[in-house]
Amino acid sequence: MSTISFHNPTKYLLGPSSIEQLGGEIKKCGFKKVLIVLGGGSAKTNGVYDRVKKTLSENGIESEELWGVQPNPLISKVREGVAMCKDPSKHIEAVLAVGGGSTIDSCKAICAGTKMEKDVWECYIGKSPRPEVSLPLFTVLTISATASEFNGGSVISNPEEHAKLPFYFYFPIASAIDPTVQFHLPWRQVMCGAVDSMSHLMETYFSRDASNYTTRQINLAIQRSIIKSMERIKANKEDLEARTNFCWAVSLALNTLPEFGLSGDWNVHYIEHSISAFNDKIAHGEGLAVVSLSYYPYIYAKGICPEQFEEWAETVYGTKDVKAAFAKMRELYTFWETPKTLQDLKLVPENIDAIVKIEQDQQKVGVKSDLFPLKEEDTRKILQIAAGVATL
């Protein structure tokens, strides 16, 4: 193992009273006015908005508001937020994201874009580096999925360029997660969060560097925790113990700990980003489920890291037979009610060429996998398998 470093600066507040603590955290930092960024309105129906406004008021913090962040968040909304933060008449000192990963991802870009002369989209396409400073970010998480509350990553869509790209900005200062807020989320949203997290973990676990067995075991343990928590949540959506464990596991899944010292492989995300860039109505987690069920058998058949696959199969799915583990994974995703084919995503085989082109274009500005550099024929074959028009 080479010299590596681990640092996660985010203060993580988990529990039923966490939202009420966040105003004090902002006050301790000396900020007197924030921009609250929200999605489509669920924060008002679930009571989170009122709780946020109350804790800000009790701590003497004023606020402006920006609503309307959508799933597969758009660069246009980011630019709107940047314009608000740059407006000298508003005196905005920090940003408070209230929502899920899409809202938090947007806010990271807003915070960075406020400190840039150029358009922040240039970071995503590789034309500008991360700015040296950024507005501070705080978050109130309302759906556990992306772990954006605990990392620096941001994924933004630009429909005009048919692109959906990641970039790494700065970590939030503090994040509040009240598991009870998630009791009444639709099952589809919970499922998408679980699939996204499992994908984060698998994509970091299957790595070119297999020497860091400590990190690999942490990674596998979090996978098992998500599976156990999901079984209990599906049986009882108000199981606080299971929901709290789920929130914690999902946040850990991409907080840099379960990838510490591993090179990782993000091809499943890259292919899914191309799918949802092709059709931004496709939920990220649903697309990941479909790609994962094709991708991992495909690379295993290519002879990629067989020992890691065997360890994963035995530890997570209780079998030494890797192909049997793939079948168990498919059974698990069936239990979770995920899509399993491109047709389940309302795509047809004729869409594959367009999706492949998007993926190949995005490779030109994105980071390629060290484990399995995707060629055009690989992406096409993986999607054809997902569509049922090809086999391994």
On whether residue 111 sits in a domain, the answer given is yes
- State CA 130 to chain mean position distance: 19
Query: How much is the pLDDT for 268?
Result: 97
68 plus 121 within the same structural domain? yes
**CB of 365 closer than 8 Å to CB of 126:** yes
Q: Is the residue at 392 inside a domain?
A: no
Query: If you compute the radius of gyration of the chain from its CA atoms, what whole number of angstroms results?
Result: 20
Examine residue 3 and state whether it is found in any structural domain, yes or no.
no
Same domain? 207 vs 155: no
Q: Residue 211 belongs to a domain with what CATH number? A: 1.20.1090.10
Residues of the chain above pLDDT 70, percent: 99
Mean pLDDT of 308-336: 98
Mean confidence (pLDDT) of the chain: 96
Residues 147 and 200 both lie in one domain: no
Average pLDDT over residues 147-161: 97
CATH number assigned to the domain comprising residue 103: 3.40.50.1970
Q: What's the pLDDT at 1?
A: 55
Task: Report yes or no on 4 lying in a domain.
Answer: no
Residues 26, 154 within the same domain: yes
Query: Which residue, of 160, 181, 202, is where some domain finishes?
Result: 181
Confidence of residue 82 (pLDDT cuts 50, 70, 90): very high
pLDDT tens string 51-70: 999 999 999 999 999 999 99
Which residue segment(s) compose the domain that 352 sits in?
186-387
Residue 273 maps to a domain: yes
| 178-191 mean pLDDT | 98
248 φ/ψ sector (left φ>0, alpha ψ -120 to 50, else beta): alpha
31 and 140: one domain? yes
Look at the block and give the residue holding tokens 């000192």. 93
The answer to the question of residue 6 being in a domain is no
The verdict on 211 and 191 lying in the same domain is: yes
User: Does residue 223 carry a pLDDT above 90?
Assistant: yes
Residues 32 and 157 both lie in one domain: yes
Q: Percentage helix, strand, coil, to 5, in the chain?
A: 55, 10, 35
pLDDT single digits (tens) 346-386:
999 999 999 999 999 988 887 788 899 999 999 999 999 99
Q: β-strands 11-14, 33-38: how paired? A: unpaired
Q: Say if residues 197 and 292 touch (Cβ distance below 8 Å).
A: no
Same domain, 367 and 218: yes
Output the pLDDT for position 211. 84
Which residue type, as a one-letter code, is found at position 164? K
Together in a domain, 175 and 217 = no
Domain count across the chain: 2
Structure tokens at 206: 């299957």
Same domain for 212 and 160: no
Give the pLDDT confidence score for residue 72 in this predicted structure: 95
Give the pLDDT score at 209: 78
Q: Note whether 270 and 351 are same-domain residues.
A: yes
Contacts of 158 (CB under 8 A, 6+ apart): 74, 75, 121, 124, 164, 165
